[in-house]
Structure 1
Amino acid sequence: MNQPGGGTGTRIYPLVGDEEVRTAFEAAVGSTDRFRLVEPESGLEGAFDLLVVDERGLENHRSELVAKREAAGSESRPTLLLVSESQSGTPDIPEPGSEPIDDLLVGPIEPDELAWRLESLTQSAATRDRRERDELRQGRQYEYAVEGATDMLAAADTDGRLLFANAQYRDFHGLDRGDVAGTTLQSLLDESDYTDLQPRFDRVLQGERVQYEMQRVRADGERRAIESSMSPMENPAGEIVGVVSAIRDVTERQANLDEIKRLSEYRRVVSSVNHELVRAGPDGEILPEIVDVLATSDLFGCTFLALVEGNEVEFLCQEGSDIATPEIERLHTESYIEAVFEAGTLRMDDVTQSPFQQHEPDTESHSGVAIAISHDDRRYGILTVHFPPGQPPADREVDLLEELAGDIGLALHDQELETDLATFEEIVQRIEDPIMLQDRAGNFQVINETLTEYANMSPEALYGQDEFAFMDEQTATEIARHKAEVIHGNEPRTYEVEPSFPNRGNRTFRTTRYPHYDEDGEIDGTVAICRDVTDIRERERQLQVFDRVLRHNLHNEMNVVLGHAETIANTAEGEIAAAARRIEAAGETLVELADKERQIVELLERREPRRITDIGQIVETVVEDLRATHPTARIDLDVPAQLYAVTTPCIEDAIHEVIENAILHTTDRTPEIEVRGVREGERVTLRVADNGPGIPEMDRQVLEGAEITPLIHGSGLGLWLVNHVVSESQGTLNFQERTPRGSIVEITLPGAE
């Protein structure tokens, strides 16, 4: 209950037994509203801010006050002892600051003095409360920080008994919070871990700070990499009373560092191998060097590199293995080679076991990988690499090995190209035809010896020059035009020129010129192969002269023969007239054969390039002409307009020959001819069907590509002409029997838009 001096000020519990002192005290307190008197029903257990006692109250409650203060500790309320002047020298009166008294006021009681003492004690208590609250808050913050730390934090006494461990430490070692105090490090750690820790712990107790890395078994049995820092723990007197540890689990970091080291070593190996490849020589020289680079790295164990041809090992080198080379060759079975090339990269979890066992079963288990060495679908060999036990390769490491195998494949491919190029250069130099590579400007980049002989210039003098350097201007200009057409048209061209050389006179060359492409697929020049056809053309001109003379004389003389035969047939009778008519028929056949021969010769002389032709228009023209010349024939035409194909200009003669031949062979009935044209994909097909007796065996031989013989008649020559024209048009010619009667001739040509 409240007493005099009530209000809302500091609560004072007066434990005063002397009435005189109490009266004076209450009078002094009642003079201000800064204090109020309370008498809790529970006494010292009640709520108050400050305790005031006198000698009697202290005497009666001394033991209770001491116990109360010991129990409350820093939370005990301040106590003021009021002592009368007569008792101030009594030995039992405690000194201020001793238990359980905080201050002492010796009477007589002066209100101002009392108020000042009470105020001072109140402020001291408030200051102490704030400090304690701050310390408590700071202590809790430290506790939260330690508990929430990502590192493991712990403290142990000099005997290795835990005093404290945060959540990370407890989780790692499988401890509950209540089990920490008193747990020994020896009982907590794996035997080998404790053996490793003990000497370091002792060094810290001697005052040394110790940092180290080690492996420690976690509560779940997994061995983890840790980084530990241990420091001496001292009491206020500076004595070492234990060890404080900060431990960090660096397993992932260590794994990353190990991975970086492994990748760095892989890259070093790749770089070393590429260095060897740059200076690559013959296979037998460079491949052992590559295998040695791989085998001397800690990353790999046994290393085999086999070159294969088909399913046979042609060459093999190996390092890091005690297996004999013949045995390694036997390991490269057909099934192993096919499995590697089919997979590209064949991973083997255990090379001591089937299906591709490469060590005895009692060898420690370890993994391996076999990688196909190839380039542009060309198989070269197999790189087989084994790894140390317990160290299988990561995906990125296998990727680097695949890159390495790709580099080896490219190097072997380049070696092949160099060998092929050397062979090609030798062939080019031995060919008696001029061969050249020229850039877009027409300047010589590659030439053979034959060209230098025609030009009468050294190779050094020709490089960087063009035909104007040794050829007449007119021909050189014409060749320059052909080069430009090849470059801009992006397709080969065949042409003839007749240059004049200072040391060889006039010559005739038939040249085929092709576009040449750089590595990016862009045209960077042309390649030309030139054939000196001077002698051939001279013989052809002579034959043409002889042919014209022969045909002229043949026609003249046959006109005489046919005229006399006709006269005899008209004037004679019987066998003589019949013989004259046979002479007349044979003469007409001979004239027809000569005309067909003239047509073929003219065709062969043209040598005109292929071009886009409207087959529909040509067939329509041919059919109209044949309907006029053979009015009794029935020709059914079904060919679409604008049916384009790429042909020689003589395709019209060939189509005319096929349809007319079908009409002429049908002699025992009205000829019925069907002409059909259709586009099939990228090809154009023309079918000519008749109702005749079928194609004679001799004509069939011509259609099948037989050579012309003295027995082939005019019809056979005509079909030979058809076959030649279709072939020159890069088409095909086929025939088949027609049911129930007749035959079908089919011409297939390259289509065009």
Structure 2
Amino acid sequence: MFEHGITSVRLHDPETGTLPPTRYSAQARENIADPPIFEDDEGPAGRAFQSQEPIVIDDLPGATGVDYGPVESGMFLPLGEYGVLGIGSTAADAFEEGDAALVELLAITAVSAFDRLERETEMRRVQQALDQLDEKIFLLDENGALTFVTEPLATFLGRESDELRGSSLSDLVPAGEAATYEAALKRVRTSSTRSRETVETELRVGDGDVRPVEFELSATAAESGELAIAGVAHEISELAATRSHLEAERDRFKAIADTTFDLLFRFDLDGRFTYVSSACERILGYTPAEMVGEPFVEYTTTESGSKATAAFESVLDGGDIEDVELDVLTADGEIVTLEVNGTPAIEDGDVVGVHGVARDITERKETLRELQIKDRAIDEAQAGITLADATEPDEPLVYVNQGFEEITGYDASSATGRNCRFLQGEQTDPSAVATLREHIDAYEPVSVELINYRNDGTPFWNHVRITPVRDGTGAVTHLLGIQDDVTQQKRWEQLFEVLNRVLRHNLRNDLGVVSGLGGLLAARQHENSVELGQTIEEKADELLDLGEKARDLEAIAGRDTEPERIDVDSVLADLVTSYRDEYPEVTFDVSVRTDRALCAGGEIEEAVSELIENAAKHNTSAEPRVAIDVRDEGEWIVLSVEDNGPGINDMEANVISKGEEKALEHGSGLGLWLINWVVTRYGGSFQIRQRAPSDAGTQATARLPGLTEDQSVEDVAKRPTILFW
């Protein structure tokens, strides 16, 4: 070059930031065996590349410190971003200023060639890429004529590529869409080359069908400098169908939203309504137009305002709210309760507001309040109320109220899941149970009175009423049970019955005797009138004593049940001292083997007194003895009184132990009835029997609740039991 045979081209490597020797002339290879690689800012080549100015060096080895062999001077010319052209000479000061200008001109030409080569290479790559893409790409000249189309677009249109080139794309747009398409072209022509325009329109294809498409158009410049328009066509048949479906769904949703009883809403980030369904008119008395744009807190009560704001902020933080109850003011100033559920409204990943649904639960709240009142009434009712599942085998209890717990001593956890027969026991009448089962199996209401047993084993009289509960179809789903503790009532009935029978029987018998004896006296038919008079006097005393016992029993029975802590030592000490004085011939042995007190009423002293007096008074043994023993037996205190007298007859024992009073077995021992009444009214039991055949005498046993020092009367006191158990 310019008679200099030593030339080189160093093309820039942007990845390594170097200027490696790319092309060396033959003479250059002869003189420089191992050409160096320069950084793109190193040496004269780097300076020329960075400054984009020619650099001439007259003394190349001296200026660079690089051994270039025989090369003495050099000239380095930038080739734009492509690299550097180097020219060397074996003579010093070989290059003149004119040489540099001329070579620079040549360098500019080389750069232009590089640019053209790069464009051509890029165009070939683009063409190859376009041939591989399944995209409908086209180019329009400034008049809207097609200058290039890809095969996919030609196939879509049902035409050959050559046939399409030179034709106007507007000719393929239906007349009804032409104005929209032309307006888009005009906007592209007048916009910057970087802007993009999107337009939906339609195209006629080869078979005459019309298909929806979306054009992406952008302005570009052709090599000639003229305006060109690049475009991509997207078939949107599926999108159009989907959009049509979504529009139909939107209309359907709007219709649902307008007819649903729930209020649908949407807030912006400031808490203002952007949408409210028409249910607001029915619920609040406002139209949607009145509410849109207004803050939601304008409609809440003061008490609910802070709650509503906290819920709103919670949703803006990305959370959901569920079943938040808010009191809201209507247009008439009334208060309704809304149950609100809400979630964040998200667009492009950002929370832009809140949308949700509000349900008017005012009536439900009122109904629930009434139900809660009824539930409390049922729970707190003195009667026991149960509910059994009639659809499950053996009809297990699924609910019991507090009344049931108090009557039976079973809490809900131990009662539910079981058939109610767990209350039955030894003295439960099988015929009453059979009556219950018969009516339950027939799904008929039934009412019976029977003996049931509490959790502590004590029996009580239970008035049971069972009623089937049916659903809307008439099928029985549950059995409603009501239990009333009628022990007191049954006790009074039995007491009145025994008083009536005993008094009637004894009055009739004894007065009959008195009448007969009086007749003998009047007729002077008996040789010993004194004996007759004594007999009459004895019968009169017996009748008076019987009347007194009846009055005592009735008086004690009429007292209120008032359990208290009774010191058994003190009671026995006073009574035994008194009876030792009254019956000096009787030996009294007392053994108290408990530290606990009795949980009973004050009348228990009268009952114990009656026990001791009976044992002493009727003891005809030569050496009469009465043994009193008090001991612990679990939660009970057992008080036993034994004597060595003639013993109680079977009739009296059966009356007290079994409650048997047949026509010929009327007991006259009302004192024993008094004992039984007092003991059982405090939850205890009383038994009297003949001692073992080898031991003469009677044994009477009373069981009553025991009370330790750290127990309260309320904790230990028991409900009355049946009279005989």
TM-score tier by shorter-chain length is 0.3 to 0.5
Structure with bigger RCO (C-alpha 8 Å, 6+ apart): 2
TM-score for the superposition, normalised by structure 1: 0.35
| Structure with greater helix share of residues | 1
TM-score for the superposition, normalised by structure 2: 0.36
